[in-house]
A and B are shown apart, each in its own frame.
Chain A
Amino acid sequence: MALLWTRDAPPPVPGAPRRALRAPRRGLLPFSGWHLVLAPTALLFLLPLAQMVLASFMPDTDINRFPPRFLPSRISFEGYSGLFTGSPVLRWLMNTVIVAAAAVVSHLVLCSLAGYGFARLKFPGRNVGFFAVLATIMIPTQLLMIPTYVMFTRIGVVNTLGAAILPWLASAFGIFLMRQFFLSLPKDLEEAARLDGCSQLGVLLRIVMPLAKPALATLAIFTLLGSWNDLIWPLIAIQDERSYTIQLGLATFQGQRRVQWSLLMAGNMVATMPLIIFFVAAQKQFVATMTFSGLKG
């Protein structure tokens, strides 16, 4: 792929053998010119994160001075202690873990079932149901905010974690993703299992699910990212500080502690680091998820 648009590649001679095209370049630089694009970009992307990490360990005197420091003069936990004593951040984190776990588990179960139903079973109402589910992808969240808020008030989940969990129990995207995946599997195994007297649910659990790990991982990551980072549903439906998720907690907290940057950056660390660590550990799967939601979503 190094053939694409390399700045200083030699002009190819018409009719020249292909090997000549891959001859090492002789440019002005001892390294590829692409580093000139990528290195500054990578730096731009990393600097804010570095600033977040460093500032979270700074004493306030380092931040509120002029000129401000980039590196802390000493490692301080003022920000973290202020965060943990000044706000129920651990509770918010726990709430978020509960919301995300419920969302992921429910997504995996419900979307697998529905995806399998739509892909393999035949019954009246299947196509209508599938069309209705697909149509919801077009509906923007903003259209749903007001009626959902009213609905949540009526069924009494406002101010509870339920308000953050309910919208994440299943999604049209998830159903679609699982259906497409199941359609791509060969049917022979399932039919053989059915002939041997296995129930439809048994086929799904014993034969299909073990094959579906890549799709399940994609769905799990998609749901984890979305539910962990969700702000809008908690924001409109949760006013009770004890039921805040970490995102809502931070957004609210920021309004009260405008300039206590070490404290706010410590909060950002708590909210973001779990996902960043997870991302670095499972980068390949993450990228597959992003690609999938991009190309097929």
Chain B
Amino acid sequence: MSPVTTVRPAGGAVTRPDRPDRPERSGRPGGSDRPGRPVSYRLRRNLLATATGWGFIGPAVLVVLGLSIFPAVWAFFLSRQKWNGFTDPKDVGWANYTRMSQDPDLADAVVHTLVYTALFVPASIFLGILLAVALNQKIRFVGFYRTCIFVPFVASAAATGILGNFVFNPQFGLVNNLFRVVHLPQQGFLEDPHQALVVIAVMSLWQQLGFTVVVYLAALQDIPKDLVEAALTDGANSRQVFRHVTLPQLAPVTVFTTIWQTITAIQLFDLVFTTTKGGPLKSTETVVYYLYNQAFHALNFGYGSAVAYGLFAVTMLITLAMVVYSRITKFEAF
């Protein structure tokens, strides 16, 4: 965290020219180390410091807390109510939470979300490392390759979804057209309940792989060159260097990317909204899509908030578990 800073008194009234030459004190500036000052003076100076400080941080803190902690607490109260936004809310205690545990549609949505996460996260980590290692080589066109792989990252999920609808369209799409040329069987893709989730995962990877690649590329470039060279002079071949030097050096970053990508995957919504809308046969209804439907179509604000809290709890648990795991295995990512 921050080193303790000696701070100039606010307002400019009481600068002490002798101060910069002096070593930092025990870290409590403006404290009891100046007994000679009158109390009213100190009080006024403290007030000034407070006003200046909050003047600086106030607006941003107000926005951030007002649009996150305040609604988050409110959501908890909502989750113990039955409310459609218009009529009077009714207090139902923990009923929304018990309903969650018995809701077969929610259970399906959880399964779909888990399947998607299991498809997306390992693929993005594995391909991220592979492509980062490849892009870290000193070969020709590497700048061009990088641009190609990063560009989709600036496309929105909405644009990706619409483009994906076209590319994976069974009749007019590029992919089936390529399949036809090489005599592969035609696929239903987003219209096939067994394939839709996989296709959405492929689209996500197309759009978001650039992120993992960039993170790993930066991590690769941070590996001390001496480490690699020392291993090589010790007789390790390049594959052994990768396995025993490079990969362990990437471990802390992998803890981070795994947590980050898992959270992103659990919260999948935009792509489902712009492609399948949960179909076909609800095969792509994820937890967040289900939550969105409950809240903004069925107008179950209470139940929707309970589901949101469930999602929050799971997110926290996964993050905590990953951090604890990384601490135990001494990856020291945090």
Contact = CB atoms under 8 A, between A and B. Distances in A.
Given A49-B152, A133-B61, A294-B256, A4 B228 contact: yes
Interface stretch (B33-41, B93-101, B131-139): B131-139
B71 A1 contact: no
B326 interface: no
A257 B98 CA distance: 41
A121 interface: yes
Contacts of A113: 56-57, 59-60
Interface string A5-16: 110010111110
Interface in A186-211: 187-188, 191-192, 194-195, 197-200
Interface string B76-103: 0010000001000000000000000000
A295 B215 contact: yes
Interface residues of B, number: 127
Given A66-B171, A143-B309, A280 B147 contact: yes
Interface string B124-142: 0000001101111111111
A265 B166 contact: yes
Given A21-B232, A264-B162, A197 B211 contact: no
Contacts, number: 373
B331 to A, nearest CB: 14
B157 interface: yes
Interface in B153-211: 153-159, 161-167, 169, 171-174, 177, 180, 206, 210-211
Contacts of B257: 294
A51 B166 contact: yes
Nearest to B295: A146
A68 to B, nearest CB: 5
A114 B139 contact: no
B280 interface: no
A166 interface: yes
A95 to B, nearest CB: 14
Contact of A5 (B2, B153, B155, B241): B241
Contact of A135 (B52, B69, B153): B69
Contacts of A67: 177, 180
Nearest to A68: B172
A241 to B, nearest CB: 16
Interface in A243-284: 247-248, 250-251, 254, 259, 261, 264-265, 267-268, 271-272, 275-276, 278-280, 283
B214 A231 contact: no
Contact of A232 (B71, B229, B234, B270): B270
Nearest to A66: B171
Contact of B235 (A12, A55, A118, A198): A12
B308 A142 contact: yes
Interface centre among B63, B177, B288 (most CB of A within 10 A): B63
B152 A129 contact: no
Contact of B64 (A52, A148, A170): A170
B291 interface: yes
Contacts of B180: 67
A188 B148 CA distance: 44
23 contacts: A3-B228, A9-B238, A18-B233, A21-B232, A41-B149, A43-B148, A110-B60, A117-B57, A121-B53, A122-B29, A126-B53, A132-B69, A136-B69, A143-B312, A145-B292, A195-B20, A236-B296, A248-B158, A251-B273, A272-B154, A272-B155, A275-B155, A286-B150
The 4 closest A-B pairs by CB, nearest first: A123-B53, A117-B56, A229-B156, A114-B60
Interface of B: 2-3, 5, 7-8, 10, 12, 15, 17, 19-20, 29-30, 46, 49-50, 52-57, 59-61, 63-65, 67-72, 74-75, 78, 85, 130-131, 133-142, 144-145, 147-159, 161-167, 169, 171-174, 177, 180, 206, 210-211, 214-215, 217-221, 228-229, 232-239, 241-242, 246, 253, 256-257, 260, 263, 267, 269-270, 273-274, 288, 291-292, 295-296, 301, 304-305, 308-309, 311-312, 315-316, 319
